[in-house]
Structure 1
């Protein structure tokens, strides 16, 4: 169960790293992103596809670029991450005695 969550978090981290690179370097292509991040081309391509489906980036002849929605998403991101971290924190089972009850 936790393994699946860890994989999802890793994938989200990659998507956000790719998005950050587009924001900071637009337009930017797959090869440059792959070389700078160390992610294989197919993983960068997948992240770009996910970000495009979310309307956070769009393709151009020179590479990926941001959309109008990108900055709105970034503005809300920290708050959503904080909410998720708090929710995960509330799931902790801190004491083995709690398991016995």
Structure 2
């Protein structure tokens, strides 16, 4: 159960790293992103597809570029991540009594 969550977080981290590269270097292509991040081409391509489906980037003849929605997403991102961290903190079982076995 936790393994799945960890994989999702890793994938989200990759998507956000790819988005950051597009924001900082637009237009940028798959090969350059792959070389700079160390992610295989197919993983970069998948992240770009996810970001495009979310309307955060779009393809151009020179590479990926941001959209009108990118700025609003980035502005809200820290707040949303903080909300998720709060939820995860609330799931900790540090304060639970010891299990007797």
TM-score, shorter chain, exceeding 0.5: yes
Bigger proportion of residues as helix:
1
Gaps of 5+ in 2: none
- CA deviation profile, 1:25-61 (whole Å, cap 9, x unmatched): 0000000000000000000000000000000000000
Q: Report the equivalent of 1:26.
A: 26
- CA deviation profile, 1:65-99 (whole Å, cap 9, x unmatched): 00000000000000000000000000000045255
TM-score (norm 2): 0.96
Gaps of 5+ in 1: none
TM-score (norm 1): 0.96
Task: Trace 1:1-101 onto structure 2 (pairs within 5 A).
Answer: 1-95=1-95, 97=97, 99=99
Aligned length: 100
SS at 1:58 equivalent: strand
Q: Give the 4+ runs in structure 1 shifted more than 6 A.
A: none
Aligned-residue Cα RMSD (Å) equals 1.1
